[in-house]
Amino acid sequence: MKKFSYKVIHTICAILISTIAFAQPTGKVLEEETIKSNILNRYVRYTVYLPADYDLSQRSYPVVYLLHGFTDDNTGWLQFGEINRYADKAIADGTIPPMIIIMPNGDSSWYINSYDGKENYEDFFIKEFMPYVEKKYRIKADKRYRGIAGLSMGGYGTLFYALKYPDLFAAAAPLSAGVFSDDELIALPDESYDGALARVFGRNLKGKARLSDSWQANSILNIVAKESTADLSRVRYWIDCGDDDFLTKGNCLLHIALTEKHVPHEFRVRDGAHNWTYWRTGITDALHFIGDSFHQK
């Protein structure tokens, strides 16, 4: 039998030790969790990312609610955004603190209560969903350790919840948020309005008729216009939208509105469009911004 030299054995051991030492810890994904909602009168699916040390400790963790876009579901950020891979790397290299990421299925609700009262998703999210998951998992149920982020429709939901419930969130990071001015809403082609917005803001509406009571109450730009600088400044904002995105104008108008009210916020316009390539390259910075909010200054 051929014997290995001491030098060869030493080299093999060194390689194995090095591989083990530098192996990136991986978090745990619970892809198809469910909650029975009395408000929505149905079961709602959600996905959970737990950091690598979750099962090895008894500590509680900060949380980020990560909202998907229109036509996606609770698995969107996992399947297309690869959020577990990006979170694993960011936690391993110290870019973000260990955190729990909760991804609910928002269907096409825009995360708000519909104009006709048939789909009260906002009530579900605030009154049922958040309390439920923050008891089920070891989450620090406190504003200081709670953030929210999302893309497109989920970016709108991110802004809406942060603006309406500033006592619940430390930071918000909308990517390519669905922000429209009144003029943009009026000018939307019927096909676009009916396909994406009519369900929640009002059906069979054209032109100025779309500026309904529901729209006025839920328009991001209108909410910002009505709120005081002090109230708007209660949440830290990271706003990111691509220069080739059809939502760039609305996001720029939001940046201008916050600037005119002297509200501190971060605004980024990067090279890119309304697609997963853009969101995957932006999510780590968004989580870093939120994670920084969890630190003591």
pLDDT above 80: residue 223: yes
> Is residue 214 a part of any domain in this protein?
no
Domain with 270, as residue range(s), is 6-180+219-293
> Is residue 112 a part of any domain in this protein?
yes
> Is residue 185 a part of any domain in this protein?
no
- Whole-structure pTM value: 0.91
- Measured CA to CA, the distance from residue 162 to residue 183 in angstroms comes to 24
Overall domain count for the chain: 1
> Is residue 273 a part of any domain in this protein?
yes
Average per-residue pLDDT in the chain?
A: 93
pLDDT above 70: residue 1: no
> Is residue 111 a part of any domain in this protein?
yes
Task: Categorize the per-residue pLDDT at 7 as very low, low, confident or very high, splitting at 50, 70 and 90.
Answer: low
- DSSP labels, 250-268: HHHHHHHHHHHTT---EEE
- Residue with the bigger pLDDT between 25 and 133: it is 133
Supply the pLDDT for residue 18.
Answer: 46
Supply the pLDDT for residue 295.
Answer: 84
Least reliable range by pLDDT among 3-17, 71-85, 278-292: 3-17
> Is residue 55 a part of any domain in this protein?
yes
Looking up tokens 């419930």 gives 165
* Kind of pairing between the strands at 266-270 and 236-242: parallel
CA-wise closest residue to 37 among 149, 101, 120: 120
> Is residue 206 a part of any domain in this protein?
no
Looking up tokens 């909602």 gives 37
**For 125-144, what is the mean pLDDT?**
98
**For 120-125, what is the mean pLDDT?**
98
**For 177-184, what is the mean pLDDT?**
98
**For 40-67, what is the mean pLDDT?**
97
User: Residue 53 sits in a domain of what CATH number?
Assistant: 3.40.50.1820
Q: Environment class of residue 146 by beta-carbon count within 10 Å: exposed (0-12), middle (13-18) or buried (19+)?
A: buried
**For 196-225, what is the mean pLDDT?**
97
> Is residue 204 a part of any domain in this protein?
no
Supply the pLDDT for residue 76.
Answer: 98
